[in-house]
Amino acid sequence: MADFLTGTTRGGQSWTPKFVETIDQKQCIGCGRCFKVCGRGVLNMIGLTEDGDIVDAFDDEAEKKVMTVETAANCIGCESCSKVCSKSCITHVPVAA
């Protein structure tokens, strides 16, 4: 069995962070709740055009706003983003130690 990177709670208990991996942009409604709850600047809102091209979230061409993983390396694996997502868009993984 693989050894995963673990942390320790203040009380000394071990826990395994589950880092953000993907966001299902087909399910995402662009509500921004995950963006607001993440204190690590990992996520960002983008716009998608009718043809699926990525544009600025506030571009006139944007037909839909969705969340994206912009800076995965900043994630601490707290899973708060998933807890506030009503559409179950976000997947997480532990990483090998």
| Residues that bind ligand SF4 in the complex, under the rule CB under 6 A | 20, 23, 28-34, 37-38, 40, 42-43, 67, 75-81, 84-85, 87, 89-90
Q: Which is nearer to ligand SF4, 1 or 52 (CB)?
A: 52
Q: How far is the CB of 93 from ligand SF4 (least distance, A)?
A: 11
Q: Which is nearer to ligand SF4, 1 or 45 (CB)?
A: 45
DSSP string, the chain: -PPBP-EE-TTS-EE---EEEEE-TTT-----HHHHH-TT--EEEEEE-TTS-EE-TT-TT-SEEEEEE--GGG-----HHHHH-TT--EEEE--B-
Q: Which is nearer to ligand SF4, 49 or 69 (CB)?
A: 69
